[in-house]
Amino acid sequence: MRIVLKKGKQTRLIKLAKKNLSWSQLSKEVNLNYHYLSNDLKNEWGYISEEIYRKLCELAKINFNKFIIEKKENNWGQSKGGLNSPGSLKEIPKIEFDEKLAEFVGAVLGDGHVEFYKKGKKIGVYSIRIAGDLIKDKFYHVNYLKPLAEGLFKLQAREITKISPKGSERFLDIKSRKLVEFFISMGIKPGDKIKNQSTIPKWIFRNKEYLRACIRGLIDTDGSIARMSQRDFNLLRIFFTNHNLTLLRDTRDAFLRLEFHPSKLMNNRQFYLSRQGEIERYIKEISFSNKKHLDRLKRFKAP
């Protein structure tokens, strides 16, 4: 059974149970996926099971029975929220392998994460999630990535914000089992990207237009543009930084394939473009979709 509490009470119960625990510690206590607990259930996008409800009450040392307004069968979630969310089972349209998809794949490889969580025979949590800075990446997430994703996959892309003493982040989250399976079929595996060494799919490497679009997604998320020297403000560099060595090498190879001349890898975590003619060509042929990069470029180019 799933417990339906009055609006706001599920969030309150979870926060009381958390107390001085981290989200990771709380997820272990109640045996739930970290992201599902700290985002979906905390934001009341799904209802908690009776078992989880009892555990949360025990941790909170409080009884929320007076706030229960309904109990639903577990399979109710196939049409409304919960682990069996509509995004998990909903069919997605035939996805075209084109520049738009290549750019979105680049963004996922840069700051994204493919999540696949399944416990036993239960349908679990499946999502594609892209992280960003709470403030600096807001326009990019809301006005570019969100409509791009929803146009490609015909699925809702939710905005999630996370504010903590360690830092503030925003996430674009798309829940869909079919979409996760599609990304896995391209070789982009769920879990830790560094351990998995997920990288640019082969279909993108076969087409230079797709490769340009994918690089745009990668630089928009894990790249930056900066002045090369404080003595000459007109000299610029474009950096790409990533701890996935396979992706780092393949991204550098992608630039070489497009006849750019990137630097050698620095400390196996970064390379850059510094030839000014190639910086101009990058801006003309590839450009940026992330407004924060465009804004920095305008400031650098200002007289």
> For all residues of the chain together, what is the average pLDDT?
87
E strand or H helix that includes residue 53 = helix 50-60
Task: Let me know how long the chain is.
Answer: 303
Q: How confident is the model at residue 293 (pLDDT cuts 50, 70, 90)?
A: very high
Mean pLDDT of 6-20: 91
Does 184 score more than 70 pLDDT?
Answer: yes
Q: H-helix or E-strand containing 172?
A: strand 167-175
Residue partners of 292: CB distance under 8 A and separation at least 6:
133, 136, 137, 139, 140
158-164 β-sheet, strand order: 112-117, 125-133, 167-175, 158-164
Q: Is the pLDDT of residue 228 over 90?
A: no
pLDDT at 30: 87
pTM for this structure? 0.71
Report pLDDT digits (tens) over 58-117: 999 999 999 999 887 654 444 343 334 444 456 788 899 999 999 999 999 999 999 886
pLDDT score of 56 more than 90: yes
Give the dihedral of Cα atoms 188, 99, 266, 259; nearest 10 deg. 140
| Domains contained in the chain, CATH given | 2-77 (1.10.260.40), 89-199 (3.10.28.10), 203-301 (3.10.28.10)
